[in-house]
Amino acid sequence: MATRLFGEPIARTEDARLVTGQGRFLDDLGHDALAAAFVRSPHAHARILDIDVTPALDAGGLVAVYTYEDLPGRVGEPLPLLIPHPALTHGRTGYPLARDVVRHVGEPVVMVVATDRYAAEDAAAAIQVTYEPLPAVVGIENAAAARHLVHDDVPGNVAAVLVQQTGDAPAAIAAAPHRLELDLAIERSASMPLEGRGVYARYDPDDGRLRVHTSTQASTSVRMAIAAKLEMPPVQVDVVTPDVGGGFGVKVVHPWPEEVLLPWAARTLAGGGAPVEIKWAEDRREHFVSSAHERGQLQHVRVGFDDAGRVLGLDVEIRHDNGAYTPYGIIVPIVTSTQLLGPYKIGAYRVAATSLYTNTVIVTPYRGAGRPQGVFCMERTMDAIAAALGRDRADVRAANLIRPEEFPYDQGLTFQDGRPLIYDSGNYPKQLEMIRDLIGWDDFAALRERARAEGRRLGIGLGCYVEGTGVGPYEGGHVQVDTSGKVHVATGLTSQGQGHRTVFAQIAADELGVPLADVEVTTGDTRRFGYAVGTFASRAAVLSGNAIALAARKVRDKALRIAGEALEADPRDLEIVDGVVRVAGSPSASIPLRTVAVLANPLRYAFDADAAAATQFAGTGPGDDEPPVAPGTEPGLEGRDYYSPPRATFASGMHAAIVETDPETAEMRVLRYAVVHDCGPMINPRIVEGQIHGGVAQGIAGSLYERLVYDETGQLLNASFMDFLMPYATEIPHIESDHLETPSPLNPLGIKGAGEAGVIPVPAVIAAAIEDAEGIPIHSMPITPSDLHTLRSHP
Amino acid sequence: MSRPAEEPRHAITLTVNGTPYAVEVPARRLLSDCLRHDLRLTGTHVGCEHGVCGCCTVLLDGAPVRSCLTFAVTVDGHAVETVEGLAAGGEPSAVQRAFGECHALQCGFCTPGFLMTATALLRETPDPTDEEIVEGISGNLCRCTGYQNIVAAVRRAAASERT
């Protein structure tokens, strides 16, 4: 057997293109396309009194100007509410172009189309919109106070109230030997991929087809949404995802206004004439004020516990800022509510999440998708329990962990996929042991004392999480061996840097017995695979990885059947090695896979020398009484299959950090950062490590640097990279990691997702370490030196 | 408010990766747009258009600059190097190779800027310390990798250039 590629840390097949400038991102396409630009609201909340486009009409290169009034039929209807939920009683979505009222700075009001982007921006700048400003609702407390409303018909600014419980938490807390309460806060941040969103639409009246390239995480659903809005048959709409410069959640929302408006405008401007192409590439300021944010929550915790620190009852009130609209439903508060439980057995639990409207940018999942907030809540609670009891923080956690023999473990709640929150597998005590070893938990007291003797302050923190990954409903894979022996793999979900082409090729190459170099993978192109859900929730490897494995097994079975006929051998005696089907133990009896591919497609016409082998007089077909294509089979050496999981699979991890705080300046520096991670068997450990590194960096960013700051009028004060402090290499510590591989019993490959893991517990870990260094409770993240300085004088 | 239908254009000549190009550009055209859309060298990326992220970094007469903060007309008569020019004769440079070998890129959007920055760094400092590497790349943002593997790649490229 050739070496198994699954599990090998091979270099990525994506990189050769990307390091030579041959990547093709959205704005690298369509050089000759018309360009769109948008007039966006400068007000957080205002009534539109008048839109005067006449000053723009003389602008050079102007092609068209559109306002809400111009949008016909379904194009002018509100954007879809993608994930309805019974608790979302007052879901609201915006219009592609604002109708009468704007509800956040950055909401699109007018679309301009011109010959290039410079001309489009000139025209957009000339358009005059008259607004009557309305009172803006900014901040969770103000939203809850509801002195003003974001939507006139949404009382209290409340979009949803979601209560989940298992057991009687209030009673358990009341009866517990110890009780405490905490108020916690996490501020807004954002995915902030280095490539913004972008759409490039081409409509061809000759064949009535629309092709849309979009920087999305969900191309098949964008296609369905566009088809619905434009009232076109989906088969006439192709959506192609080019190289995507990062997503981290923000690009899973769809259809964005631009994804509806550009295709519609291309079709409208084309009329019955020549094809029309229009492109829009979001600029950075637009991304800050018109894409999505996440994180902002306030939490109130009541917990009852015993002398060992075991949690007997936990009652959490979450107030979640969902921004101006709820196109992505209440997924973020659902995830916070459920994943808050982490690796722990909680006696009784009640959580009430209230999702509130504010006059700010919409809030939709950003890597972690509500988990960092939930883990912050639970881990700060664990630390508070340890402090109250005078016990070691790791020991308190150990007392609460689910034991390995208790899987599958039912947490008694409903997860974000609507399925029961049942953990499939894991080994949390082992992880705790590993993280203690990796960071040197038990030796830290001595280290701290040595530092103290030098006038330095050190603290250590620990955070644990469980992440539901690989949620359904499904993904599919298509595997085709062509007559040159090349293997073409397609799956519908999209890629934003995760290395899918590499890991899916590893899986397909193993299953088929072909060299890695013979496998090419396409993702996110509806022309190649039309059925898919999307890339989010750390699901791509689990869903598409398994689907591709299943599809490849079908192809393998077919190849062995056809080769068996050709070699007059029992398919059960055959193996495929390096792209050649051979009789195991008798390698001389063999047939290359490419020849099997020829034979798999019975032909009349010999268009080349290979094809001649499959023609009717070549003597390679079945007997005279058999149909050339056997019943129940299809021509071609290809196969398609789907993987649909019963429910999510649960990855997990524990992080620890040692942080130094400056007694004078209150600067905080992460001296060491350690990660123990379990996503089941790793397809490519190098890629998993990379995902962890990137996730931790985003976690550090959200702990010490990044926050989106709105003033009381709803202006985003730091809508640029000058003011929103994304960390450079100088700010991110070296990350030490160790892995545990507990297989999932739920899928054929036994794998779990890894994409979001790194980011999840970081704010909890950093807060714990700073609290430990300073002896001051840290209940709000992110934290700046200025914040810490203030806390020192007013804890 | 009305603008002339055609903006005045300026004829400039710039040398990109050793090849001279003559183009006519409006005075306000950014070098990044000129490279990407006039010359169709789209390897240079634009991440913020205000000079912070470094995705658009190119070498101007050998020194790294933000092409999004540079007007194309100002490089008339000058030499620009972009990511497309790093692979001499189709062979990837040591920096390009090291980025792949060290998994120093994920989505690849910031990568051309890092490659140009690292190329300039190693020309000036062929044997950098880790601190010099971190400092040297600290004007470029990456949202995917957490930088650890980028630092490793620059270290590896330096080592392979020395051998």
The answer regarding whether domain B94-162 maps to CATH 1.10.150.120 reads yes
| Cβ–Cβ < 8 Å for A694, B146 | yes
Give A728-767 pLDDT, tens digit per residue. 999 999 999 999 999 999 999 999 999 999 999 999 999 9
Query: What distance in Å separates residue B163's CA from the closest CA in chain A?
Result: 22
Taking phi over 0 as left and psi of -120 to 50 as alpha, with beta for the rest, A524 belongs to left
Q: What is the DSSP letter of A704?
A: I
| Cβ–Cβ < 8 Å for A19, B105 | yes
Q: Which CATH architecture describes the domain A297-471+646-793? A: 2-Layer Sandwich (3.30)
pTM higher than the cut 0.80 = yes
- Cβ within 8 Å, pair B101-A690: no
Predicted confidence (pLDDT) at residue B3 exceeds the cutoff of 50: no
- Confidence label for A792 from pLDDT (cuts 50, 70 and 90): very high
pLDDT of residue B5: 54
Structure tokens at B93: 């440079």
Distance CA A718, CA A751 (A): 40
Of all residues in chain A, the one with the smallest CA distance to B7 is A60
Following DSSP, what letter does each residue of A235-281 receive, concatenated?
A: GGEEEE--B-S--TTGGGS-S-HHHHHHHHHHHHHHTTSS-EEEEEE
Distance CA A456, CA A448 (A): 8
Predicted confidence (pLDDT) at residue A475 exceeds the cutoff of 80: yes
Q: How many other CB atoms are there within 10 angstroms of residue B21's CB atom?
A: 16
Give A500-555 pLDDT, tens digit per residue. 999 999 999 999 999 999 999 999 999 999 999 999 999 999 999 999 999 999 99
Domain ranges of chain B: 9-85, 94-162
Predicted confidence (pLDDT) at residue A412 exceeds the cutoff of 80: yes
Dihedral angle over CA of A302, A307, A311, A313, nearest 10? -50
Mean pLDDT of A211-216: 98
Residue A244 at interface with chain B, using a CB cutoff of 8 Å: yes
pLDDT of residue A545: 97
Mean pLDDT of A400-411: 97
pLDDT of residue B1: 38
Q: What is the DSSP letter of B93?
A: P
Alpha-carbon distances, residue A423 vs A108, A369, A428, A472, A541 (angstroms): 42, 18, 12, 15, 18
Give me the phi and psi of A624, to 5 degrees please: -60, -25
Predicted confidence (pLDDT) at residue A347 exceeds the cutoff of 60: yes
3-state secondary structure A280-319: EECCHHHHHHHCCEECCEEEEEEEEECCCCCEEEEEEEEE
Residue from the list A24, A284, A729 with its beta carbon closest to the beta carbon of B134: A729
Mean pLDDT of A490-499: 97
Distance CA B157, CA B143 (A): 22
Residue from the list A195, A732, A758 with its beta carbon closest to the beta carbon of B109: A195
pLDDT of residue A444: 98
Following DSSP, what letter does each residue of A80-92 receive, concatenated?
A: P-SS--TT-TT--
pLDDT of residue A794: 84
| Cβ–Cβ < 8 Å for A426, A404 | yes
Lowest mean pLDDT among A585-594, B15-24, B67-76, B142-151: A585-594
**What residue type is assigned to position A20 of the chain?**
T
Within 8 A of B96 by CB-CB distance, chain A residues are 19-20
The single residue listed with the structure tokens 């590893």 is A506
Of all residues in chain A, the one with the smallest CA distance to B39 is A31
Predicted confidence (pLDDT) at residue B4 exceeds the cutoff of 50: no
Mean pLDDT of A231-255: 97
Domain ranges of chain A: 32-134+197-281, 297-471+646-793, 472-643
| Cβ–Cβ < 8 Å for B85, B47 | no
- Cβ within 8 Å, pair B101-A28: no
| Cβ–Cβ < 8 Å for A130, A57 | no
User: Which helix (H) or strand (E) element contains residue A433?
Assistant: helix A428-439
- Confidence label for A621 from pLDDT (cuts 50, 70 and 90): confident
- Cβ within 8 Å, pair B96-A20: yes
Q: How many other CB atoms are there within 10 angstroms of residue A17's CB atom?
A: 14
Output Rg (C-alpha) for chain A, integer angstroms.
28
Alpha-carbon distances, residue B91 vs A14, A412, B41, B87, B88 (angstroms): 17, 58, 18, 5, 5
- Confidence label for A795 from pLDDT (cuts 50, 70 and 90): confident
Predicted confidence (pLDDT) at residue A322 exceeds the cutoff of 70: yes
Please indicate whether the domains covering A297-471+646-793 and A472-643 agree at the CATH topology level.
Answer: yes
Chain B interface, mutation test: which of A250, A503, A718, A728, most B Cβ atoms within 10 Å?
A: A728
- Cβ within 8 Å, pair A722-B135: no
Any idea which fold B9-85 has? Ubiquitin-like (UB roll) (3.10.20)
> ipTM strictly over 0.90?
yes
Please indicate whether the domains covering B9-85 and B94-162 agree at the CATH topology level.
Answer: no
Residue of A116, A106, A570 whose CA lies nearest to A359: A106
Predicted confidence (pLDDT) at residue B2 exceeds the cutoff of 70: no
For the domain A472-643, what is the CATH code? 3.30.365.10
Give A645-697 pLDDT, tens digit per residue. 999 999 999 999 999 999 999 999 999 999 999 999 999 999 999 999 999 99
Which of 3.90.1170.50, 3.40.50.150, 1.10.10.10, 1.10.3720.10 would CATH assign to domain A32-134+197-281?
Answer: 3.90.1170.50
